[in-house]
A and B are shown apart, each in its own frame.
Chain A
Amino acid sequence: MDDDSALTAAADEVVDGGSNGQPSSANGSAPRRRATAQSMAASQRDISVSEFFAKNRHLLGFDNPRKALLTTVKEAVDNALDACEEAGILPEIWVHIETTGESRFKVGVQDNGPGILKKTIPMIFGKLLYGSKFHRLRMSRGQQGIGISAAGMYGLLTTGKPVKIMSKISPRKPAHYYEIQIDTKHNKPEILNGRGEGVDVPPGEKGREAIEKLGIEWIEVNHGTRVTIELEARYQRGRGSVDDYLEQTAIANPHVTIHYQDPDGNAKSYSRVAESLPPEPKEIKPHPYGIELGRLVAMLKDSEAKTLSAFLSDTFTCVSPAVARRICETAKVSTRANTKRIGRHEADALYKAIQETKIKAPATDCIVPIGEELILKGLHQVVPAEFYVAATRPPAVYRGNPFVIEVGLAYGGEPTAHKVSREALEELLSQSDSRTLRQFLATSFEGLGFEAADRILKEAGLKTRISPGKLKKQSIDKLHEAMRNVNLSSGQSMNVLRYANRVPLQFQAGACAITQTIMQTNWRAYGLSQSRGGLPSGPVTVMVHVASVWVPFTSESKEAIAAYPEIQKELRLGFQAVGRKLGMYVKRRQKVKQEGQRRAIFLRYLGEVATACSRLNGADRERLYNDLLRVATKKTADADLRFDESGQPIIDEDPEEYGENVLIVDRQNGH
């Protein structure tokens, strides 16, 4: 398929240009011939994908030690969740990270999934491009068959340690324990333990003894898999960290329980808020709309169908024989034509005919959105805010692939910088690799930009250019004070959480269609401030979920979503849906705030007025004051009220007013 060939093409390029640092060919202008076709042929050979990716690890998300740690955790967790869901098991995941040396960590991820059959374990963990998800159109987190073996390969390359797998498919059957390393030359697994056969661990008490003896890390479950990878990495909290990833995973997967233990031994759990699994996504055939001409030609060649009509209705979803006939008629090609004989010209006509024929939208049950209700629950559990709104768009199609856009938004509440404890701050400072304090603040805390960082530093009376690690105790105190006191909501920029098939995307925000579309949306209309073409600002978090049978990533490291016009359009509609409701809420909140300020102004003069009157006529000051206070409260009763769109007061805030899928958390009158 396309992506497959893209990989090969990339690999070819490397082979051509990269082998001996030789120019690939004489390009006329070269004064002297350095290599001949013959000499070059000697160095031209097949390279394995493993070799290719070992050299180009950034393509898979291993560009630096910090990201390597995250990618490893991520690949293992994604697989665990995919496996559990596919097997219909409510996922419970354990993530343990342990420091094993300077810049060395051991990552262990265990699930309560179905387990893996003995014979496929080595291939899954010791061979790139081996997986169950690539050759199908079905919504899942993993899709390429590279993820976990690449992580294992990275571990092997940096520490020389093999990947350790323990997997069990039933409480009565033995578990299998493997120590595997990938043979990068041949993209093939090598089993190191049990004389190349792995070890079977019997069920029950005996097994427990064996686990103890072999030093296998294992949490007792009836079935499940544990992967342990040791790698060279760096652990640092803040944006783009493992902690962040797990937190965001919890938001988009409210049916998952995660137990996390960080390298410092701190334990944190996210408990599921939904007790049922999302419905099982169905595997589908591609939809004819948007299929590219080249792909259509390739499909025709590969097809085993006897007639064109059969090809169309077998290969594509939503194409009945009647629809197939209409396509053929429009293309002026016989329905009974032999697919192998379809020429370039006819294929072109077919392609055009497909676009012109009315074909119903693909079945939507192949995509399982999180759903508005669960988005609200998930956001509410993790992001403290006052107002939550969610919108799940109806399914749409890009390049023949159905997809669904979901948007959740949380507004109000304290930014994370306000919540950070003195201890946590000190730790963050000591771990930071930011060169300046300013950079540290802007990159470590969600929704805190450089402008807010500057204000914090000014308040704390600290220089912007000090190195975070060199801060004295007293200065840390001051910084902590300032972080709590400075009003961060002005100038704080929108916190964007991006997801593809429930997996958080943490890097390459700028290259992602989600971020780009947010910036192109006019959020000012919804009561947020926004400079032209930038992210809006304010205490607001947006989560965006792109769910599809095939998510169009911009690269293999699955970090950013490609900007297909159909996807951007749906994103825009999603933002508008939540934006409108946000706008209503913000307007009401402003009104309430204004009334509150009005009241405060009256109150500040009441005391003077009461005193003056009692001096003039001897009236009882306290009584008069209380009377006036009562009038003031009545007069500004609006401060206690909320208003609907037409300015009518609402006696009790009623989320129904906003329509469905809005959650309002009363945090003391919204002040």
Chain B
Amino acid sequence: MTPSTLEALVMPKKAPKRVPGEKKTPVKYTEQDKKTLGRLTGLADGVVLAAEKNREPHVDIPARTLSNVHYSPKKKIIEMGGNTNRRQLFNLSQAKSYMQTLLVATGCKQLIDEGKTTSIRGLFYILKHTIEGTKEETFSDQAECDPIIEDVEVALEALREELHVYASNRGTMVGEITLIDSGDEIDCTRLGSGGYSIPSICEPDVIRFRKCDAKFVLHVEKDTVWRRFNEDKFWRKHKCILTHGGGQPSRGVRRLLYRLHNELKLPVFCLLDNDPWGYYIYSVIKQGSINLAYESRRMAIPDARFLGLRSKDFERCGLSKSVQIGLNDTDRKRAKQIAGYPWFEHKKEWQHEIRQLLDNGFKLEVEALISKDISYVTEEYAPQRLREKDWLD
């Protein structure tokens, strides 16, 4: 992760010693900020009230677990259920995370008060300090902090960007579109070999679409494949937008795909590895993830299509045996799990696809196609699938 200059600014060496209300420069709150601040204050009010009444304070956090998400066949997305987990201060196993939850809230308030945003890493540094009178740190590492940030998001029903926090950029875009990012015009046909780095916040106040000649979006799994397509100028030939998400696509990438799909009415095709992980990425793009189920409604693209690779491609494309990678036990377990997802469960073609993967006993990376010919994937495989409408839904 590369710390931005902003991050450097808000990264204090020690615990923030700022008194609330004492602001260096008066900041104009947006309407959204005011709403978020109200929720943050409400969190603290609950504690004060409980303490005054001699009761144990707690926060209820919507459960981000498999048991608390369900698939809505009507909306075709994963939605979060109403279950919450109660986090209590006076519970040995929860006391520390309770304190951390409130700390994250203060960090967000501070950011809003100062009109700044920071990365989740930046927030971690803002909040990390030694607890008074002990040798214990408030957070030992970022891995301890990240889930708490997500807890605060769901507990306050505030999105990450509404809390002035962003994740690091991941994912790249190139193709027949011109957009405006924070006032700068970006023509995505003229970005050379590197492409446009998709920011973690892709809300309309940051990114606006200016002009679009693309007819669809091709999303590939990772950088290496994306580069092949970019080098061969696939997007120019086929009038499309080319993205990748570096594996599991970040929220920014998913949000951008969602907006391209919904605002510009572009169909989204995914070209992913032929393995459980590839299926899972497709599933997340299409229906949403369990962990971020509360974001599904602004991110999931139920109409996204799965272009490949398919279990039948080894034979269909006449690949050499040496590109096979054997399935391991976790792969097999994951594959069966995915076959049981409600949105795959009743789709014959998907059941067949996954069964064939298991029967094959091996997985295939998109790069395997290169063994046939370096541009096989861009010149034959993808165009042919698109032409023949040979995809999975």
Contact = CB atoms under 8 A, between A and B. Distances in A.
Interface of A: 598, 601-602, 604-609, 612-619, 624, 627-628, 630-632, 634-635
Given A605-B95, A607-B132, A634-B54, A617 B41 contact: yes
Given A616-B43, A619-B48, A608 B99 contact: yes
Interface in B92-121: 92, 95-96, 98-99, 102-103, 105-106, 109-110
Interface residues of B, number: 35
A616 B105 contact: yes
A605 B89 contact: yes
B29 to A, nearest CB: 15
Contacts of A609: 47, 57, 89, 98-99, 102
B44 interface: yes
B52 to A, nearest CB: 6
Interface of B: 20-21, 40-41, 43-45, 47-48, 50-52, 54-57, 89-90, 92, 95-96, 98-99, 102-103, 105-106, 109-110, 131-134, 136, 138
Contacts of B103: 608, 612
A631 B47 CA distance: 12
B20 A618 contact: yes
Given A614-B20, A615-B106, A616-B41, A601 B92 contact: yes
14 contacts: A601-B92, A601-B95, A604-B134, A607-B133, A608-B99, A608-B103, A609-B99, A609-B102, A614-B44, A618-B21, A627-B48, A631-B50, A631-B54, A635-B56
A460 B41 CA distance: 52
B23 to A, nearest CB: 13
Contacts of B48: 613, 617, 619, 624, 627
A628 to B, nearest CB: 5
Contacts of A618: 20-21
A225 to B, nearest CB: 64
Contacts of B133: 604, 607
A616 B40 contact: yes
Nearest to A635: B90
Nearest to A620: B48
For A606, A618, A628, the residue with the greatest tally of chain B CB atoms inside 10 Å of its CB is: A628
A631 B56 contact: yes
A627 B110 CA distance: 25
Contact of A628 (B44, B51, B138): B51
Contact of B20 (A601, A615, A635): A615
Contacts of A604: 131, 133-134, 136
A632 B50 CA distance: 12
Contact of A605 (B20, B50, B96): B96
B102 A607 contact: no
A247 B194 CA distance: 88
B101 to A, nearest CB: 9
A631 B92 contact: no
A78 B189 CA distance: 109
Contacts of B138: 608
B50 to A, nearest CB: 8
B282 to A, nearest CB: 41
User: Interface majority SS on B: helix, strand, loop or mixed?
Assistant: helix
B214 to A, nearest CB: 45
Contacts, number: 89
Nearest to A634: B54
B61 to A, nearest CB: 16
A156 B95 CA distance: 75
Contact of A631 (B90, B98, B106, B109): B90
Contacts of A605: 89, 95-96, 98-99, 131
Contacts of A624: 47-48, 51
Contact of B51 (A598, A612, A617, A631): A631
A605 B134 CA distance: 10
Given A607-B132, A624-B51, A630-B54, A598 B106 contact: no
A470 B50 CA distance: 64
Nearest to A605: B99
B44 A613 contact: yes
A607 B15 CA distance: 14
B55 A612 contact: no
A602 to B, nearest CB: 6
A616 B106 contact: yes
A72 to B, nearest CB: 56
Contacts of A634: 54
A619 B50 CA distance: 13
A609 B104 CA distance: 11
A612 to B, nearest CB: 4
B151 to A, nearest CB: 14
B126 to A, nearest CB: 12
Nearest to B110: A615
A604 B109 CA distance: 23
A613 B51 CA distance: 11
Nearest to A636: B90
For A601, A604, A606, A612, the residue with the greatest tally of chain B CB atoms inside 10 Å of its CB is: A612
Contacts of B131: 604-605, 607-608
A617 B54 CA distance: 19
A613 B134 contact: no
A631 B103 CA distance: 20
Contacts of A602: 89-90, 95
Contacts of A607: 131-133
B89 A616 contact: no
For B40, B90, B96, the residue with the greatest tally of chain A CB atoms inside 10 Å of its CB is: B90
A642 B134 CA distance: 28
Contacts of A612: 44, 99, 102-103, 105-106
A613 B92 CA distance: 20
Contacts of A632: 90
B102 A613 contact: yes
Nearest to A617: B44
Nearest to B101: A612
Contacts of B41: 616-617
A627 B132 CA distance: 19
Contacts of B55: 631
Contacts of B109: 615-616
B261 to A, nearest CB: 38
A616 B112 CA distance: 12
Contacts of A613: 44, 47-48, 102
A612 B105 CA distance: 8
Nearest to B138: A608
B331 to A, nearest CB: 42
Nearest to A607: B132
A604 B138 CA distance: 11
A612 B21 CA distance: 13
A111 to B, nearest CB: 59
Contacts of A616: 20, 40-41, 43-44, 102, 105-106, 109
A630 B44 CA distance: 18
Contacts of A598: 92
A641 to B, nearest CB: 17
A168 to B, nearest CB: 68
B131 to A, nearest CB: 6
A564 to B, nearest CB: 52
A274 B352 CA distance: 94
A607 B102 CA distance: 12
A601 B94 CA distance: 11
Contacts of B44: 612-617, 619
A617 B46 CA distance: 10
Contacts of B105: 612, 616
A618 B45 CA distance: 9
Nearest to B42: A617
For A602, A605, A616, A635, the residue with the greatest tally of chain B CB atoms inside 10 Å of its CB is: A616
B237 to A, nearest CB: 55
Contacts of B50: 631
For A604, A606, A613, A630, the residue with the greatest tally of chain B CB atoms inside 10 Å of its CB is: A613
A603 to B, nearest CB: 9
Nearest to B127: A612
B233 to A, nearest CB: 53
Contacts of A608: 99, 102-103, 131-132, 138
